[in-house]
Chains A and B, each alone.
Chain A
Amino acid sequence: AQSVTQLDSQVPVFEEAPVELRCNYSSSVSVYLFWYVQYPNQGLQLLLKYLSGSTLVKGINGFEAEFNKSQTSFHLRKPSVHISDTAEYFCAVSPLSGNTPLVFGKGTRLSVIA
C-alpha cells in the first residue's frame, strides 16, 4: 500500500516570495507522483506529474517539483508566488500498475499575502 505525508497543513507566504510545499511518500513498489491544486469551491486540477525520466518536473503556473527517490520526496516549488496561487495543494501517489486509484495526502493550504 502507498501513503502520502504532506508535512505542512498551512503555508502562509508573502506575494513574490518563493515557496516550497513538502511531500513525502511511502511505497514498497515504484510509483507515479502527482501534485493537484484545488481552488475554492472548485475541482482538482493537475499541476504536474512524475512518471519517469528527469527527476525535475515542470508544471503549469510556474510550479515545478523534484522527485528524490532516496528521500522518498516530491516537493513542490515556485520561485515567486502570486495572490492567485492561494489554494489547497494535494500530493498524490499511485503504483505503476496504471489503474490503481490515487492516494492523496491531507493537503497543504497555501495562503499568499499581499
Chain B
Amino acid sequence: AAGVIQSPRHLIKEKRETATLKCYPIPRHDTVYWYQQGPGQDPQFLISFYEKMQSDKGSIPDRFSAQQFSDYHSELNMSSLELGDSALYFCASSLWGQANEKLFFGSGTQLSVL
C-alpha cells in the first residue's frame, strides 16, 4: 500500500539559505501535519492543513511557511535557515475527522544546517 512520501530524505544547507520540504500524503487523505524533531528530542507539532486551509498551528517559526495544494501534497518552506533548524521533519497524513485514529507518518526529511 502507498505510504506518506517525503522528499528529499536528506538535505544539507548553509546558514541563511532557504529550503523546501515536500510531503505527499496517502491517496485520498485530505489532512497533512508537519512535525519537527530536533536531535534527541520529541517531535513538536508545527502546522497542519485540511483542504488547502491551515487547520492548526503549533510552534512554527515566522521564518517558515507551508501550504497544501489541490492534489493535497504539502510543502514546508524554510527561509533564513539557522543552525538550530537542523532536525528531522516529519509529515503525517489522515482523513479529516479520523486524524488520530488513522494517522500515518512519513520517514522524514533530515535537514542539516551548516
Residues of chain A in range 15-58 having any CB-CB distance to chain B below 8 Å = 32, 34, 36, 41-46, 49, 51
Mark A51-81 against chain B: 1 for CB-CB distance below 8 A, else 0: 1000000000000000000000000000000
Residues of B within 8 A of A (CB): 31, 33, 35, 41-45, 48, 50, 55-56, 58, 90, 96-101, 103, 105-108, 110
Q: B40 → chain A, closest Cβ, in Å?
A: 8
Q: B110 → chain A, closest Cβ, in Å?
A: 8
Q: Which B residue's beta carbon lies closest to that of A33? A: B100
The one of A51, A101, A103, A106 that contacts B101, using a Cβ cutoff of 8 Å: A51
Number of interface residues of A (CB under 8 A): 23
- Complex: how many Å from CA A98 to CA B35? 17
Q: Is B42 a contact of A101 with CB atoms below 8 Å?
A: no
Q: Is A44 a contact of B56 with CB atoms below 8 Å?
A: no
With a 10 A CB-CB cut-off, give which of B42, B45, B106 has the most chain A CB atoms: B42
Q: A8 → chain B, closest Cβ, in Å?
A: 14
- Complex: how many Å from CA A44 to CA B91? 10
The one of B41, B58, B90, B96 that contacts A99, using a Cβ cutoff of 8 Å: B96
Mark A94-108 against chain B: 1 for CB-CB distance below 8 A, else 0: 100011111111110
Q: Which A residue's beta carbon lies closest to that of B55? A: A99
Contacts of A103 in B (CB 8 A): 45
Instruction: Evaluate whether A101 and B106 lie within 8 angstroms (CB atoms) in the complex, with A51-B101, A106-B42 already known.
Output: no
Q: Which 7 A-B pairs have the closest CB atoms?
A: A43-B107, A101-B45, A104-B42, A94-B100, A44-B105, A99-B99, A43-B108
